[in-house]
Amino acid sequence: MPQRVSYFGPAGTFTEAAALKHDPQAQLLPYPSIAAAAEAVSAGQADEAVVPIENSLEGSVNDTLDLLIHHTSLLIHRELVIPIEHCLLVPPGARESDIRAIYSHPQALGQCRGYLARRFPNAAIVPAMSTAAAAERLAREPDGAAAIATMRAAELYGMQVLDRGIQDNPSNVTRFVVLAHQDSPPTGKDKTSLCFTFGDDRPGLLHAALGEFALRHINLAKVESRPTRQSLGQYIFLLDLAGHRQDPLVSEALLALQRHVSLLKIFGSYPRYEA
């Protein structure tokens, strides 16, 4: 029986492409939000969920970070990286001069900001829930409109590709994670993601916490912060580090870290993506 994989849909998004790459034989289940895709796994309606977590141009996907920090006990089981190629879709027969409004997801609009400023400085920019939702809206409201979406979305909704590869940076990629009830066993080429915060605010707290990894020569691949949602000026720190939580040095560092922080949540250990 194929695995049931929920994903942030609908069909035709880059997340669907990541889900297909993760498990081509899976039964794919689209959900309207990142939180809903994860909840499907928690509720037993799916075995795994695929959601975006970071784009090389626009940075972290805040909805996924907030989900991992505050709203789920699911763990990261795997990561995937998908090249992002944005296409400009129009109704069949439409011309560039017809375009007065452009629909797309805010991340896609941000990734094509320079292109839009050069080619369509007077067009109205209209956010959509996803790139596929933008293509679907274009199919319903085609007059004077275009959408930034995928080649697959063009096929699904019968749209014409007016221009392709319109992202401002050719190295545009998005990192996706697979969420499940368990993370992955050690492979020797792993990454661990986690978050922590402090109970008070005094000089040297962050330095001491991060120093536990430096002391053990553990590389930190990513360090960022998010508001705690409790008080202005209080932050949760997020780390990606080299190694598996079961590796002796990593395990030792995590135990030492607990002495410095008031909250520590491990999002999972999983194989590092290698192209």
State the Cα–Cα distance between residues 179 and 115, nearest whole angstrom: 34
Structure-token pair, residue 157 = 């909704």
Helix (H, G, I), strand (E, B) or coil at 74: coil
CATH architecture of 190-271: 2-Layer Sandwich (3.30)
Instruction: Supply the residues annotated as catalytic.
Output: 174, 176
Structure-token pair, residue 233 = 């000026």
Residue with tokens 């797309």: 104
- For the segment 90-96, the average pLDDT, to the nearest whole number, is 96
Looking at residue 49, its pLDDT comes to: 98
Q: Residue 88: which of 68, 58, 111, 69 has the closest Cα?
A: 111
- For the segment 256-265, the average pLDDT, to the nearest whole number, is 97
Pairing of strands 124-127, 87-90: unpaired
Which residues, 6 or more positions from 65, have their beta carbon under 8 angstroms from its beta carbon? 53, 226, 238
Taking only the tens place, the pLDDT of each residue in 47-90 is: 999 999 998 888 899 999 999 999 999 999 999 999 999 999 99
> What pLDDT band is residue 9 in, cutting at 50, 70 and 90?
confident
Residue with tokens 């990454």: 191
Looking at residue 58, its pLDDT comes to: 83
Can you identify the CATH homologous superfamily of domain 4-84+172-180? Periplasmic binding protein-like II (3.40.190.10)
Looking at residue 255, its pLDDT comes to: 98
Looking at residue 206, its pLDDT comes to: 96
- For the segment 223-241, the average pLDDT, to the nearest whole number, is 91
Domain boundaries defined on the chain: 4-84+172-180, 87-164, 190-271
Taking only the tens place, the pLDDT of each residue in 234-255 is: 899 999 999 999 999 999 999 9
Burial label for 259, CB within 10 Å (0-12, 13-18, 19+), is exposed
Question: Contacts from 36-44 at CB under 8 Å and sequence distance 24+?
Answer: 36/6, 37/6, 37/7, 37/8, 37/9, 38/6, 38/67, 38/71, 38/72, 38/74, 38/179, 39/72, 40/6, 41/6, 41/74, 41/179, 41/180, 41/181, 42/72, 42/73, 42/74
Looking at residue 31, its pLDDT comes to: 95
Looking at residue 107, its pLDDT comes to: 86
> What pLDDT band is residue 229 in, cutting at 50, 70 and 90?
confident
Taking only the tens place, the pLDDT of each residue in 132-183 is: 999 999 999 999 999 999 999 999 999 999 999 999 998 889 999 999 999 9
State the Cα–Cα distance between residues 251 and 111, nearest whole angstrom: 38
- Average pLDDT in the chain: 95
Name which of 1-10, 24-33, 209-218, 226-235 the model is least confident about.
226-235
> What pLDDT band is residue 274 in, cutting at 50, 70 and 90?
confident
Q: Residue 75: which of 268, 271, 241 has the closest Cα?
A: 268
Contact 3, 27 (CB under 8 A): yes
Contact 9, 16 (CB under 8 A): yes
Looking at residue 57, its pLDDT comes to: 82
pLDDT at 275 over 80: no
Domain 87-164 in CATH 3.30.70.360? The answer is no
Looking at residue 198, its pLDDT comes to: 95
> What pLDDT band is residue 197 in, cutting at 50, 70 and 90?
very high
Pairing of strands 190-197, 87-90: unpaired
CATH fold match for the domains 87-164 and 190-271 = no
State the Cα–Cα distance between residues 218 and 51, nearest whole angstrom: 27
